[in-house]
Structure 1
């Protein structure tokens, strides 16, 4: 399937990646000097630090960015590790995760993307695995108006069991770019994964064996931004969990 190149792919060429070495070194040095940065600054309830874990993922990313052709599997494995703990460790972890998300799309996904993403993100996780009992359609809207910046993100997807395997299968079934333009696909799908992981951690349940089909939504020619679709996808998850019933596998 021929799609135009992601406009931000230029930021992940070998030459562009070299400019991130200083950023990663700063993260590593800051964590060494201030170990307390290993948790969120406003997280007063937690005493657990993830300082060394964050240094380790920064070092792993450093090894990848200095390679002219980084190993695709290494990027995929780092992506999954970062994604699982996004929003629950610290802000540096989240920043690294965002960079690796985009790198993963550029190197591993976009050129061969056939409208399907398959993930097995719970390998080795202690959570009990759950799937949805009955199919459910959910909708998320992030539409805001203000005097400075307007937002328009709108996505609709269907959740159903995928008991053929333990994977999560995300299918992009948007008929054409007049519904949601292709440039919003990565943020939409990453938002779906973010929402799934967020509520999995909250419920202590590994939501798995799921098929998630994105089939509708909308965009605004002037007000839509990529991040609006990530937020809309998370809102769709929140709405789904108000009505969904999950069963253990």
Structure 2
């Protein structure tokens, strides 16, 4: 299946990666100078800092960025590490996660994407795994109006138990780009993964052995943006999991 390249593909050429590396230097310098940036600035309750962990990851990312042909598996592993703790550590961590997410899609997924993403996000983590007892239909809408910018994201996906595989399989079943355009596929799928990770941190349940089929949604020609579909997917999980039953596996 032929798809147009992702609009940010050029940002990840060797030349452009080297040109735009200063943001990583700034992250490392800022964390050395102000270790308190190792947690969110508005998180008054938490005393836990992730300063050194963030510096270590930033240095590793910098090494990959400066390689002409980095190992794509190294990018995948860094993606999984960053993803597990997105929105849990600090702003610098989240910025690196967003950067690596897109890089991962460019080098590991999009060129050979056949409407399926398979991943084992809990590999290497000591946690109890769960699946769902009965199939779910998850629907999420992120619709906002304001004086400056409007938002519209709407996604529907089916979640089924898949005990034969100890991983998560996400299937993109939407062939009509007037439903959800192809350019929004990465953010939609990342939102689905974010929802799984958010549930893990809130409920201490690592959901796996799932088949998730994105089957419907809708699109607004003017108001829709890719980030709206990430948020819609997270909302869909929140709505669906309220009534879900889980089984330990």
Select between 174-183 and 11-20 the one with higher mean Cα deviation.
Answer: 11-20
Could you tell me how far apart the structure 2 residues matched to 1:12 and 1:238 are? Answer: 33
Counterpart residue number, 2:32: 32
Q: TM-score, normalised by structure 1?
A: 0.98
Q: CA shift at 1:15, angstroms? A: 1.3
Counterpart residue number, 2:183: 183
Does the CA-based 8 Å contact 1:175-1:215 persist in structure 2? no
2:110 paired with 1:121: no
2:145 paired with 1:145: yes
Could you tell me how far apart the structure 2 residues matched to 1:20 and 1:35 are? Answer: 24
Select between 99-108 and 9-18 the one with higher mean Cα deviation.
Answer: 9-18
Deviation digits for residues 40-97 of structure 1 (CA, Å, limit 9, x no counterpart): 1121222111111101111111011111111100000000000001111111000000
Aligned positions of 1:1-249 closer than 5 A: 1-249=1-249
Give unpaired runs (5+ residues) of structure 2.
none
- Give RMSD over aligned pairs: 0.9
Could you tell me how far apart the structure 2 residues matched to 1:19 and 1:11 are? Answer: 10
Could you tell me how far apart the structure 1 residues matched to 2:29 and 2:191 are? Answer: 30
Deviation digits for residues 175-199 of structure 1 (CA, Å, limit 9, x no counterpart): 2111100000000000010111001
Could you tell me how far apart the structure 1 residues matched to 2:41 and 2:35 are? Answer: 12
Give unpaired runs (5+ residues) of structure 1.
none
Q: CA shift at 1:19, angstroms? A: 2.5
Could you tell me how far apart the structure 2 residues matched to 1:25 and 1:31 are? Answer: 10
Could you tell me how far apart the structure 2 residues matched to 1:100 and 1:233 are? Answer: 20
